[in-house]
Structure 1
Amino acid sequence: MPLLTIRHLTEYSYRQPVAFGEHRIMMGPRESYGQRLVSA
């Protein structure tokens, strides 16, 4: 069983047909006032 599963669906509506290209999601921890990113 995977540690983490993400499911995401985004829908767009256009008047004319469109072609879709490659999509990539880039995720990483975010630095903030109370924490600092040491490595990822």
Structure 2
Amino acid sequence: MLLLFEIVSFLNFQKFLKIIKTKLDLGQFIFNKCDNMPQF
């Protein structure tokens, strides 16, 4: 039972990391977009 719990935790952790990476990539993308805009 404990092993099953650890496997589930690990999968959730992987999903969590993937979400964070997606958010970071999106943030970087937006930052680059703003950086490329002309400054007034």
TM-score category, normalised to shorter length: under 0.3
Higher relative contact order (CA 8 A, sep 6+): 1
More helix per residue: 1 or 2?
Answer: 2
